[in-house]
Structures are given as C-alpha cells and as structure tokens.
Chains A and B, each alone.
Chain A
Amino acid sequence: MNAADFLLELRCEEIPARMQAGARADLEKLFRKELDAAGLKPGAITVWSTPRRLALIARDLPLATQAVSEEAKGPRTSAPAQALEGFLRKTGLTKDQLTERDGVWFAITEKPGRATEDVLAAAIPAIIRAFPWPKSQRWGAASIATDALRWVRPLSGIVAILGEDLVECEVGGIRSGYATMGHRFHHSGEITIGGAHDYADKLRACHVIVDHVEREGLVRSQASAAAQAAGLVLVEDEGLVIENAGLTEWPVPLLGRFDEAFLDVPPEVIQLTARVNQKYFICRDANGKLANAFVCTANIAATDGGAAIVDGNRKVLAARLSDARFFWEQDKKKPLAAQAEKLGRITFHEKLGTVADKVARVAKLAEWLASEGIVPNCDPALARQAAELCKADLVTEMVGEFPELQGLMGGYYARAEGLPDAVADAIRDHYKPVGQGDDVPTAPVTVAVALADKLDTLRSFFAIDEKPTGSKDPFALRRAALGIIRLITENDLRMSAGEGDLLAFFADRLKVQQKEAGVRHDLIDAVFALGGEDDLVRLLARVHALQAFVGTEDGTNLLAGYKRAANILKKEEYTPAEAAYAPEPAEAALIAALDAAEPQAEGAVAAEDFTAAMAALASLRAPIDAFFDQVTVNDADANKRASRLGILSRFRAAVHKVADFSRIEG
C-alpha cells in the first residue's frame, strides 16, 4: 500500500457558529498549502465542523513524497582550478562526487522521498499556529508567556491518523493521539478513533453528527416537520439553519407555543425577537398569518422527550415578548412628534449638527420637492409632516432594542396614532431602496421623503468635504447616491441631481448602476461630457437612444466619419473662410445635409425626442462618407482648404449637439 487516508481532528471549546464556515475553508486551504510545499498530491479532501471540532479527511495521500534529483551546473572542465574550487565549496562536495557531461561539471544530489507522516507531523503545528481566526485567545497556565498559542477558544485535543498510524506531533503542550470526545452530555469518557474510515461512525455512536451538512439537513427537515405536525408552516430561514447546526452536535428541533396575546405586537418584532435573541424559527398558520409557535433546536435527545426544554424556552420567549410588548405600549403612549423632540440630543455628525437639524433640512427639502411638482401629485404638507417624523422612532424603546426595525416601527406608531396612511407609509419606507434588490418607493409622499433624506445626506457630507475615497465610505454615500439615482430614474423625476463634484459622483455611480442594465459607460460619458446635463432622466433617455443608434450600421459609420473629421481637425490649423468657389457636388451635398440636420437635431434635443435626434444624425452618414470619398480637404488652394475644414468643424458641432462622440469607444 503506498497511499492512505488521513484524518485530522482539532478539538476545542465551543467555536462560534458564525466562524465555522470560514474555519473549514481556512483549514482546507492551509492543509493544501502544506501538502503542496512538500509535493504531495491528495485525493478528495473533506472538511467538517461541529461546535467542538474541526475535522479534515484527505483521501489517498501518498505515504511518501517523491524522491527528487537536483542538478547544479558547475564550471567547464577546462575552466581554471579556482572556479572548480569555488563550486566545490558552494556545494560541499568533493571533486570525485561531481559528474562530467559534455565538458561541464555537474553536482547531482539525490533527495530521497520523505515519509508523509513526517511531513504531516510538521504541517499540523504549522497549520494551527498560522490559523487565521477572526478573533483568537490565549488560555491556561501557558498564557503567562508572551508567545503562548492562540486559538478561537481553548484547544483541547488533536487526532491525527494516517491510515491507521498515529501522526505524532505536539503544539502548545497538546499531543496528538487516537482519542477524542463524544457528545458533551450523551457520552462520557474518551473514544478511540481507528482512522478516517471509522471516524464519523464512531462519533455518531457517541451522539455527534460530525458532518455539518447532515446536521443542517436535519435542522431544516425536522423543524419543518415539527411545524407541519402542528398544522403550521415553518418560515424558512437558511441563516438560522446554519446557525443552529453550528450550535449543536446532535440537533433536535422542538416546537413550542407562546401566549396568543403576544400576537398584538407587530409580527416583525416577534420574528426578530425569536430569531436574533433566541435563534428560533417562527411559523405561519394556513392563512399565512404569524402563529403563536416557535421552533427551537436543542442539542440533546432529552430523557423527558424535550418537555422541560420546550417549557423553559417558552418562558424565555415570553419574557422577551413581554419586554417587546412593554416597549410597544410605552412607545405608543408618546406621539411621534413628542419623540422627535429628543432627536436634538443625538449628534448626526459633529460638523452637521444633531439629527433634529438634519430632520429640519429634510422636511424643508421634501416639502419643496412636492410644492415644485418635482415629485408629482405629492401634497407638500404631508411630505413635510412625514419628513418631520421620519426619524422619531430612533429614540423609541423598541428601535433602541432592535435598531434594524428603524422606519418600520415609525410606520406602526404613526398608524397607531391615526396619522394619514401616506405619512405612515413614508415613515416606514423612507430608508428605501436599501440594497440593489430592494424595491424603490413609488408613493409620492414616500418618494419625496426618501429622496430628501438621501439628498440631504449626500449634499451635507459633500459640503464638509467628507467624500468617499477608494474603499472608504464611512457614511455610506455611495449607497445614498445609488438610492437617489433609482428614486429619480424609476419615478421619472425631472430635477437637477446636483452640480460640480456631486454631479461627477452621480455620473460615476450611474455608470456602475447602469452597467448591470447593459448600458455602456462610455455612452454615459459621451452625454455627460456635453456639460450642463444634471437631469438624470433626460440623460438616460439620451444615452438609451445613443446606444440604440451606435448599434446600427448608420451609427457605426457615422462614428467612423466623426473620428476621421475630428482627427483632421485636431491636426490642421486654419482661419475660417467663406467658400468663394463653386463647391464640388459631394461638398455641396454635405452642406445641404447639415443645413437640414442641424435644426432637426437641435429641435429634437429640445423636445427630448432623442430618437429623432439620432435620425437627424443618421441623415449625415451618407453625405459625410461621400465627402471623404470625393473631396480633398487639404487642397492646395488655401481658401478651399479653410472652407472644407470649416464644413468638417460644422459637422463635428452638429454631432456634438447630441453627444460627445469623441468619448465613444470603438
């Protein structure tokens, strides 16, 4: 047998669930790196994790590394003696150990293969010492030394078996062995592992399912089954599946009920309380309404079938929900307007005043967006009211407890105090759109507040020169800009997005955002380069028409004609002159075409009919091609030359009425 399976288990105190996926990847990466350095090629590698162990199995590991023969080229045999002496010193050999080939000395060293066991014995401590845990600690008596071993939590054991042979190694006072531990409560004492072949089975017999994928499957299916058995539907939550599988070695999902009276509290609050604080799944009834049930995942097969566990968890959830209900009721006692007064005590940014100051700016802006008709069909008074209250929930007890409910709770409180739905909806949704996939508000009051909030953020931070640089964007201004772009373009809002740096920032964000939609960034540049365009809706309409046009044969050829004209104009200097000669036919035709196209393009651009503007440009394609074919621009007659350059310049200017074609690639 010249290959064997290798098992490595690193056992420690409970690894945080959220770190296990990363740890598995890191273990495999570090292991492969060590093998690679030794020239060992493993078969399939499997990595598993539980809260108390990381395990790696490498199949078909050769039992020794390949023998290698290394050859160093020395001096020619005819070279002076000093050269040979130097070579012998360098290699540490004597002359009779050298080999002569074609009149040149060679030193050949045979490196025998190393036993894989030895490679692994050195690799394991190296992997452990190099392991990149996001946070690690020292522990125990050894931690008196500055260079004490670090691990995510105290490391307690190493199993390292190649085939059936122990790979002996030691790190931080922990020696490798055949022994590991089973489930913390279902099995006492050590388990002796024979090797990779019996590892998972032996652990299973001791109530440890070492394969995390299997545990995730169990949590998923048994949680769902528990809900089904109660006539309910589990609200699927893959994050919870992974987390619960990462917290257990023997997962047992159990369903419990909580007092129906708690269902008065908004369902999002219940879900969050159950999920974040307790890692419970929640369920819906047949009508899709939140049910008074939860599914917790125990780590034991309890001797009483789980009755005490369910009861204990029910009590904890009840206490949490009482707190939530207390917050909900306390918060409702105070109108949002009264809550909003406390915003004056929260600093938004040291140079930008308090949150109350920000709210005042947002309210003014939201009202203006409505009264100017920029956000159509929007009642300015409602826009102002919603904006004034939109941050009030930040000081409520509930949002203090669950910051991720900001906005949503404000909406609930607004409705509870009888404010108009448009106001409540605007408060609820004004942070939207939050991410790429998030919906863009369309309700007018919501649009006004959402837009005003983000515009204010962006403008304020630009005003104090806090712009994003490279990967640094501490105030999430890129996200705000993206939100503004989506609010404006998806609601067709006609307004100036900004000027100067801010407009350039929008242009950058727009290019990134439109890339997803297949819009070419150079075309956006070509339109922005004309200057003076701060209306993103008009800009995009023009870019879309331009993209359609440059895709046509007319467009491609016109672009070629444009580039040729621009190149000539770049090189040649001339004094504009009147054509005091009879123009050639192609020359006359281009002049006539320009006479017709210029007003057409201009009129179409003014009317924002960009397709018509492109059509006007298309009408220049044949005349410009004919002109280049038939007319010599650089005529010996200075007057003709100047006049023809003038025509080309006119042509370029006509094209620029639509877009700066010099920015277009290809």
Chain B
Amino acid sequence: MADTAQPPLSLQDMILRLHAFWGDQGCLILQPYDMRMGAGTFHPATTLRALGPEPWNAAFVQPCRRPTDGRYGENPNRLQHYYQYQVILKPSPENLQELYLQSLAVIGIDPLVHDIRFVEDDWESPTLGAWGLGWEVWCDGMEVTQFTYFQQMGGFDCRPVAGELTYGLERLAMYIQGVDNVYDLAFNNHGVSYGDVFLENEKQMSKWNFEVADTDSLFEGFRRAEEECRRSLDANVPIAAYEQAIEASHLFNLLQARGVISVQERASYMGRVRDLARGSCEAYMAKFKDEWAAKYPEWAA
C-alpha cells in the first residue's frame, strides 16, 4: 500500500525514518527502557520527565508486554509483545499535529490517498494517576496512533503540558506494507519476516503467561516490589522506586493472565500499583521542587 514506486518500508526502515524525522525536530533519540512494561508511557522518559517545568523532547521505541493479549501466535493482529514508537514533547509545540502528519508522510502515508482522522479519545491511566485529552488517529479507519496532551501525571497537574504520540509500529507497518498478518511483515528488506523473529517467541511466551508462570513467585514478586519501592522512597531515590512500580505493574498483569486475581481483588491490586507509581512521582517532584522553582518562577507560582 505504499504510495511510491519503491518497495514499501520494512519495519526497521520505518523506525529509522521516524528516528531521523524526530531527531531533526530536536528530539533525543533514546533506547528502550530495559524493563518489562505494558506501554511506552511507563518509560521514565515519559512518566517522570512529564513532571516539572523543564523542557523535554525525546523519541524512542519501547517494547510492550500485554500478557493477556497473547494468542499463541495464532491471531494475525494480537500479540503479547509488540512495539510502540513514543514521542514526548514538553511543552507541547503549537504545530504538534502538523509535525505528526509530516512524520506520517516520511513513512509513506499520503494524506490525499489515505483518510487521516483525529477521533476523540481521552486517555487515562489509573495506575499512573494520569490523564490527558486527545485523539486516536485513524488511517482509513484503523487506529494508528494515540495522540495525547497530558494534563496530569502521578496526580500532579502537568505544568507545562506535554504532548505524547504513541505509534503502533506493527499496525502502521502492516498498513504500509499491505500485509494482513503481522507475522508476514518484512522486518528488513533482506528477507527476514516479523514471524521469523517473533512467532516462536509469541508461542512460548503465550504459554508461559497463561499456563506456566509460577503464581506463587508472581505474588511474592509483587509483594517484594512493593516493599522495595517503599524502601527506595524512604531512601529518597525516586527513580529506583519508580522502577519497582513498573515491576509491580507487570507482575500484576501476569497474575491477571494467569487468572488468579478475582474481580474483587483486581481493584485493590490496581490501587496498590497506583500508590507505588504516585508515591514515586511525588518523591521525584519533591526532590527537584526547589531547583525547579528557582529556575522557573512561573512554575512556582
């Protein structure tokens, strides 16, 4: 479905083009965070850096794990491990929508052939104590990006507001390559498919997520992460505390996949993760508050 005569972009070339584009816009090109997480928003470069007044512009790929979305490699669209391309711009620039549309053009989407739409979708992450307004961006009816103006993070007003773009890389690539099954995606242009890289991974990890993972260890892990988070908060190392919140969140997702958390317990576990994440954000704010206030008088007001 590319709109040029050249072969459509491979997944990796698409990422490289996005890196080049956002790098040119002044974004830091970061690497994925080395922890298991459910969404790019959990990356400290988004969550923690959205706090406070300092400008911050970054782009990175973040592998995401959603254990309950695993389908043993049998579903053409659903994966328990996939990639998000995340851009965070603070403060949100005036021309953020235009920049985003330019980024679609660089990966080969012509807006006079494809129907690009901004459809209301308010974003909320109870676990992060965060919410924002924005859209899901549709390309010919398919959601390809979540576009959000963060209003709160960790329970704090975002001052200034950060703009966050989350591209679903596999979906976009499937679209650009005209492929109906994610495993048929060209990972590169040298004959390696997404399936070659990830199909076996999906099979094994789906089985582990749903059937194998030892629930006692998961429960124990959750408890330990919770404890470690509190110890870190006591020691005033909020970044370390936040890592434990990420860990607890993922362990909770695994416990969900294992079907051992009842409906009633679910809310209580989510509340516990939220407390860890919020506590970390709070400690992070507290640690830099004076420094920020000195540098940004309007922020202190």
Residues of A within 8 A of B (CB): 13-14, 16-18, 51, 135-146, 152-154, 156, 184-186, 247-248, 278, 280, 296, 298-300, 302-304, 308-309, 311-313, 315-319, 322, 326, 345-347
The reply to whether B140 and A313 contact each other, CB–CB distance below 8 Å, is: yes
The reply to whether A302 and B113 contact each other, CB–CB distance below 8 Å, is: yes
Q: Within 8 Å of chain A (Cβ to Cβ): is B207?
A: no
| Cβ–Cβ < 8 Å partners of B114 in chain A | 302, 308-309, 312
Closest chain A CB from B3 CB (angstroms)? 8
B126-164 vs A, CB cutoff 8 Å, 1 = contact: the mask equals: 000000111100011110000001010000011111010
Question: A13, A145, A248, A296: which contacts B97 (Cβ < 8 A)?
Answer: A13
The reply to whether B296 and A309 contact each other, CB–CB distance below 8 Å, is: no
- B78-94, CB < 8 A from A: 91-94
The reply to whether A319 and B77 contact each other, CB–CB distance below 8 Å, is: yes
Q: Within 8 Å of chain A (Cβ to Cβ): is B271?
A: no
The reply to whether A304 and B113 contact each other, CB–CB distance below 8 Å, is: yes
Q: Within 8 Å of chain A (Cβ to Cβ): is B23?
A: no
| Cβ–Cβ < 8 Å partners of A143 in chain B | 91-92, 158-161
Q: Within 8 Å of chain A (Cβ to Cβ): is B122?
A: yes
The reply to whether B142 and A315 contact each other, CB–CB distance below 8 Å, is: yes
The reply to whether A346 and B263 contact each other, CB–CB distance below 8 Å, is: yes
Give Cα A147–Cα B298 distance, bound, in whole angstroms: 11
The reply to whether B175 and A312 contact each other, CB–CB distance below 8 Å, is: yes
The reply to whether B299 and A144 contact each other, CB–CB distance below 8 Å, is: yes
Question: B77, B175, B263: which contacts A347 (Cβ < 8 A)?
Answer: B263
Give Cα A160–Cα B286 distance, bound, in whole angstroms: 45
The reply to whether A315 and B180 contact each other, CB–CB distance below 8 Å, is: yes
Q: Which of B77, B117, B139 has the most CB of A within 10 A?
A: B117
Give Cα A326–Cα B160 distance, bound, in whole angstroms: 44
Question: B53, B141, B151: which contacts A144 (Cβ < 8 A)?
Answer: B53
Give Cα A303–Cα B157 distance, bound, in whole angstroms: 44
**Chain A to chain B contacts (Cβ below 8 Å), 30 pairs:** A13-B97, A13-B118, A14-B118, A14-B120, A137-B133, A137-B161, A138-B149, A139-B149, A139-B161, A140-B92, A140-B94, A141-B91, A143-B160, A143-B161, A144-B159, A144-B298, A145-B298, A153-B133, A154-B94, A299-B115, A299-B116, A299-B117, A300-B115, A303-B110, A312-B115, A317-B141, A322-B76, A345-B263, A346-B263, A347-B263
Least CB separation from B113: chain A residue = A308
Give Cα A139–Cα B94 distance, bound, in whole angstroms: 9
Give Cα A144–Cα B52 distance, bound, in whole angstroms: 9
User: Top 7 closest A-B pairs, CB basis?
Assistant: A312-B140, A16-B120, A14-B118, A313-B141, A298-B115, A144-B160, A143-B161
The reply to whether B161 and A278 contact each other, CB–CB distance below 8 Å, is: no
Give Cα A280–Cα B142 distance, bound, in whole angstroms: 13
Give Cα A186–Cα B157 distance, bound, in whole angstroms: 37
| Cβ–Cβ < 8 Å partners of A316 in chain B | 140-142
Give Cα A316–Cα B112 distance, bound, in whole angstroms: 19
Known: A140-B93, A300-B112, A316-B142. A135 touches B118 (CB 8 A): no
| Cβ–Cβ < 8 Å partners of B53 in chain A | 144
The reply to whether B264 and A278 contact each other, CB–CB distance below 8 Å, is: no
Question: B75, B111, B112, B122: which contacts A135 (Cβ < 8 A)?
Answer: B122
The reply to whether A312 and B1 contact each other, CB–CB distance below 8 Å, is: yes
Give Cα A299–Cα B140 distance, bound, in whole angstroms: 10
Closest chain A CB from B216 CB (angstroms)? 21
Give Cα A311–Cα B262 distance, bound, in whole angstroms: 42
The reply to whether B92 and A308 contact each other, CB–CB distance below 8 Å, is: no
Give Cα A134–Cα B97 distance, bound, in whole angstroms: 23
Closest chain B CB from A153 CB (angstroms)? 7
Closest chain A CB from B263 CB (angstroms)? 5
Known: A144-B160, A145-B159. A137 touches B151 (CB 8 A): yes
Q: Within 8 Å of chain A (Cβ to Cβ): is B119?
A: yes
Give Cα A186–Cα B53 distance, bound, in whole angstroms: 37
Give Cα A16–Cα B92 distance, bound, in whole angstroms: 20
Give Cα A313–Cα B140 distance, bound, in whole angstroms: 5
| Cβ–Cβ < 8 Å partners of B294 in chain A | none
Known: A139-B92, A146-B301. A302 touches B112 (CB 8 A): yes
Give Cα A303–Cα B114 distance, bound, in whole angstroms: 9
Question: B134, B160, B175: which contacts A141 (Cβ < 8 A)?
Answer: B160
Closest chain B CB from A185 CB (angstroms)? 4
Question: A144, A317, A347: which contacts B264 (Cβ < 8 A)?
Answer: A347
Q: Which of A135, A154, A312, A317 has the most CB of B within 10 A?
A: A312
Known: A144-B299, A302-B113. A308 touches B159 (CB 8 A): no
Closest chain B CB from A559 CB (angstroms)? 58
Give Cα A13–Cα B133 distance, bound, in whole angstroms: 11
| Cβ–Cβ < 8 Å partners of A145 in chain B | 159, 298, 301
Least CB separation from B71: chain A residue = A326
| Cβ–Cβ < 8 Å partners of A153 in chain B | 133-134, 149
Question: B94, B101, B115: which contacts A309 (Cβ < 8 A)?
Answer: B115
Q: Which of B110, B114, B139 has the most CB of A within 10 A?
A: B114
- B229-270, CB < 8 A from A: 262-264
Closest chain A CB from B150 CB (angstroms)? 9
| Cβ–Cβ < 8 Å partners of A18 in chain B | 120
Give Cα A466–Cα B21 distance, bound, in whole angstroms: 58
Least CB separation from A355: chain B residue = B263
Give Cα A188–Cα B60 distance, bound, in whole angstroms: 30
| Cβ–Cβ < 8 Å partners of B120 in chain A | 14, 16-18
Closest chain B CB from A470 CB (angstroms)? 28
The reply to whether A51 and B118 contact each other, CB–CB distance below 8 Å, is: yes
Question: B75, B175, B262: which contacts A345 (Cβ < 8 A)?
Answer: B262
| Cβ–Cβ < 8 Å partners of B298 in chain A | 144-145
Least CB separation from B115: chain A residue = A298
| Cβ–Cβ < 8 Å partners of A17 in chain B | 120
Give Cα A308–Cα B142 distance, bound, in whole angstroms: 13
Give Cα A186–Cα B110 distance, bound, in whole angstroms: 12
B39-77 vs A, CB cutoff 8 Å, 1 = contact: the mask equals: 000000000000001000000000000000000000111
Give Cα A146–Cα B300 distance, bound, in whole angstroms: 10
| Cβ–Cβ < 8 Å partners of A308 in chain B | 1, 113-114, 140
| Cβ–Cβ < 8 Å partners of B157 in chain A | 146
